[in-house]
Amino acid sequence: MRQIIVTSCLFCDIAAGKRKADVVFESDDVLAFRDISPQAPHHVLVIPRKHIATLNDLQEDDAEIMGKLLLAAKQVAGAAGFAEKGYRTVINCNRDAGQTVFHIHLHVLGGRYLGWPPG
């Protein structure tokens, strides 16, 4: 018997343009869009177009794409005007870090003082 497994991923859908998002940066490999529930005046998520579920799933081949996420974060911060003042980048991995969307994403938070340590 042939089994058809249908999987769906919110951020794959956004990357494919099947779901709306407020996109602030895009390239062939990377997309950045505003978080729907912002935790700072500027809260953007940077994702690879390729589906990678969590940081634990990264392979050697993904080194370049992860570098591109960081370069996109720098661009987003520069364009939003908070690069010099400061900002935070975060990747939550799995339950204890509160990951809720299992397509790897880099949070870029800025526009206010961000306390440390995080909650």
Per CB under 6 A, residues contacting ligand AMP are: 10, 21, 35-37, 45, 92, 98-101
Rounded CA gap, 42 and 111, in Å?
6
101 binds Zn ion (CB under 5 A): no
Give me the catalytic one of 42, 43, 103, 105: 105
51 is catalytic: no
Rounded CA gap, 6 and 109, in Å?
33
Q: Which stretch binds Zn ion (CB under 5 A): 6-14, 61-69, 93-101, 109-117?
A: 6-14
Q: Which of 12, 55, 79, 91 binds Zn ion (CB under 5 A)?
A: 12
Interacting residues of 49 by C-beta distance below 8 A, sequence separation 6+: 15, 28, 29, 30, 31
Contact 10, 101 (CB under 8 A): yes
> What is the contact surface with Zn ion in residues (CB under 5 A)?
9, 11-12, 51, 103
By annotation, the residues acting in catalysis are 105
